Structure 1
């Protein structure tokens, strides 16, 4: 490849093995290749994440449409159903990642999306408490593994300094789905009674079909790997990768792996991830703080409706806080990449959320309905601002691919969903309408998460100081 002398040059030397690929290219050429990843891999994973969130959180809109009354379930049963869903995710998280390692994300990810899309659609047939609990359990089992599979896939395409913003964008699917869900619910509930289906049945049907359609798009167009960017079924994605792009992407993969430890087997990765006590604060921080999001996603529309708004107004207004979360999440992700201070960014984000909760708990009993709506909106906006950065922080400190995949599963989903499972019980029927007791529990949990974030930062700083004394330099990302 001929390199113009007038352009900034990035040289990638050949690696130790003769089979390694090394190319020399300009920074602009690498930027173009990376942009093609941004236009092919990232949007499809983002799409999958959006429908993933729609399918597990549209019950919030269904409840405002009379779902609970029609199938004779109360709030405690809804909480139990959500607990079983999150339990299913936890149970199959690591097995799902082992399958991912064996068959590859280009086949496993669309298969997962298809299965949980079908199960989500079948919720239209739920008629009683038993059926509700069974379907929620199956939905959790089917969704297990999607998030860590997607995060692992991103880590194979992007380098360390590029990853946080992409993880933040990927989680836009979760938070964006949470924002879109009440808006879709508000519109779909207008179909109540059409063709003999209730409004909540239309919600499950329409959003389930959207998920099935998304699975087909992912199967057809998701590139397989940096070394072979063709999709599994088609000869090319909607973005064309040239031979030069392939060389650049392969070299980027080699450059990324060159700072990694020797690759271990998936089983060794499980042991290494679980027994590495230095990262246990990561695994404990996730359930502490993320647990507080569970009651917000399930009951915010109901809380807003209790302020005197109609069910359609409540669903539409709920989207405001969820939409505000998107720029806040992106800001902290951008700050993380900009400064390189991953731990301090997480600490700052958790502090912001804690302040919002304390102020909200203090003000709610003394406010009118619009101001109460404002408080709940801000709480929803800050509830997840730390999460993508925290996940990236963990990934950057896992240099072995197998360990990284399992660590993502443990922290990113197993621990987080264990927290969500416990968090379903934070808001109780006897605590309505302000849920002041629930907010106290949320404050305590987030404060515990803050302590754990500070401890994790201290551990990495201590390990770096020790390695520097040995002449190894900084080996962890604080």
Structure 2
């Protein structure tokens, strides 16, 4: 619930744009891109400090407070009137959202063992992509309130979805436990001393995020392909979440119908994720599954760029829907692959920053100078990034394979 709410407040600008938000505050598309970039920069800047605060305050109070704060800021966007106000509120929103994803994943790691963590992470990411799917549907409905109470449709979107975040924060502080405590599970070690498996796990998950851990993670060259692949491929999702409703509206559909059609691709994402997760668990080949999902996405990007100028509007809608549906099918599996090969929850938290960095860079892929042509250059950039991500995932698989052969004491999942 918290992740879906987080994603709603982050992506509802896509629906607001179809409701005339940009023209109402007198900004162009490049300013919208800059605002989103500043939002993601704010997330990165406070990512680690946020997780340090989490460990001191506790997940129940800290995560609930985060959701409350970014809900208030999201609602206050109804008062934005100019470029300065827009850039300022997006920056503050990013600072308020900082650390939510790694904080939630860190908290999950304190409740579940490594073997049980992967499935929980997959379920957790359903909130993110579910929120992205619901956002344009809510936008389509809320835009019908245009003019009610003296507010524009885009103001109703920001106001009501911000209020929902505040309600969600109250539910979180009421229902979210601090930590799962399990009965000790005794095993006998070689020196015949009793050791609790849960005690060992809880000790590992209680490790603080120190500068030493940060430096060790960033200098671990064996996992750089993970970081870079995440940034490359995930960056291509950023322009899709912001501009797909506007693209469909530009094809001749009403703003309400454009938002409803944009939701279809995001809804397709959910069964796509389930399929690739099932395939990953069945084959136990995470790297190959990630590569297959990226290949499927890459094919749809190439087909869209090649065929888009030569087909009608409904065919274009179908192509954009397919791209949106396959855009992030790889991400939960790739993330789970990273998680099970991490040595500590602290390392897991830091890895999330690479995805945010990718989203920040991706905000500039679709530029205003090619809006009329439906972003042929932007699509080419996305194709190149997907190819780079595919190559990096293949390299990471090779690294794990070689390391497993040379070090039988520490087997990493390929």
Instruction: Calculate the TM-score normalised by the size of structure 1.
Output: 0.81
Aligned match for 2:375, one of 423, 435, 445:
435
Unaligned ranges ≥5, structure 2: 188-195
1:96 is aligned to 50
Whether the 8 Å contact between 1:162 and 1:337 is mirrored in structure 2 is no
Rounded Cα–Cα distance in structure 2 between residues aligned with 1:249 and 1:54:
40
- Asked if 1:329 corresponds to 2:273, the answer is yes
1:454-473 matches, within 5 Å, as 454-468=394-408, 472=409
Rounded Cα–Cα distance in structure 1 between residues aligned with 2:339 and 2:279:
17
- Asked if 1:448 corresponds to 2:376, the answer is no
SS at match of 1:447: helix
Once superposed, what is the RMSD of the aligned Cα atoms? 2.1
Instruction: Calculate the TM-score normalised by the size of structure 2.
Output: 0.93
SS at match of 1:309: coil
Aligned match for 1:191, one of 126, 145, 155:
145
**How far does residue 264 in structure 1 lie from its aligned partner after superposition?**
5.0
Deviations 1:77-100 (A, max 9, x none): 100100100110111111111112
**How far does residue 332 in structure 1 lie from its aligned partner after superposition?**
1.5
Rounded Cα–Cα distance in structure 2 between residues aligned with 1:332 and 1:92:
32
1:387 is aligned to 331
Rounded Cα–Cα distance in structure 2 between residues aligned with 1:204 and 1:318:
19
Distance 1:462 1:262, change over 3 A: farther
Deviations 1:36-93 (A, max 9, x none): xxxxxxxxxxx00011011011001001111111110110110010010011011111
**How far does residue 258 in structure 1 lie from its aligned partner after superposition?**
5.6
Deviations 1:266-292 (A, max 9, x none): 213222212211111111111101110
**How far does residue 248 in structure 1 lie from its aligned partner after superposition?**
7.0
Whether the 8 Å contact between 2:294 and 2:390 is mirrored in structure 1 is yes
SS at match of 1:266: coil
1:58-457 matches, within 5 Å, as 58-227=12-181, 246-247=182-183, 254-255=197-198, 257=200, 264-267=207-210, 268-400=212-344, 404-405=345-346, 407-412=347-352, 414-432=353-371, 433-457=373-397
Whether the 8 Å contact between 2:214 and 2:350 is mirrored in structure 1 is no
Whether the 8 Å contact between 1:285 and 1:452 is mirrored in structure 2 is yes
Rounded Cα–Cα distance in structure 2 between residues aligned with 1:276 and 1:344:
22
Distance 1:382 1:248, change over 3 A: farther
Whether the 8 Å contact between 1:323 and 1:381 is mirrored in structure 2 is yes
Unaligned ranges ≥5, structure 1: 1-46, 228-245
2:193 is aligned to none
- Asked if 1:475 corresponds to 2:411, the answer is yes
1:234 is aligned to none
Rounded Cα–Cα distance in structure 2 between residues aligned with 1:411 and 1:126:
33
Rounded Cα–Cα distance in structure 1 between residues aligned with 2:204 and 2:141:
51
Rg (Cα) greater in structure: 1
Rounded Cα–Cα distance in structure 1 between residues aligned with 2:342 and 2:288:
18
Matched residue pairs, number? 405
**How far does residue 261 in structure 1 lie from its aligned partner after superposition?**
6.9
Pick which of 258-267 and 459-468 moved more.
Answer: 258-267
Distance 1:302 1:152, change over 3 A: same
**How far does residue 445 in structure 1 lie from its aligned partner after superposition?**
0.3
Distance 1:257 1:380, change over 3 A: farther
Whether the 8 Å contact between 1:260 and 1:399 is mirrored in structure 2 is no
Rounded Cα–Cα distance in structure 2 between residues aligned with 1:188 and 1:258:
46
Distance 1:463 1:255, change over 3 A: farther
Whether the 8 Å contact between 1:397 and 1:477 is mirrored in structure 2 is yes
**How far does residue 351 in structure 1 lie from its aligned partner after superposition?**
1.4
- Asked if 1:51 corresponds to 2:5, the answer is yes
Deviations 1:184-215 (A, max 9, x none): 01111111111111111110000000000001
Whether the 8 Å contact between 2:43 and 2:94 is mirrored in structure 1 is yes
Distance 1:222 1:258, change over 3 A: closer
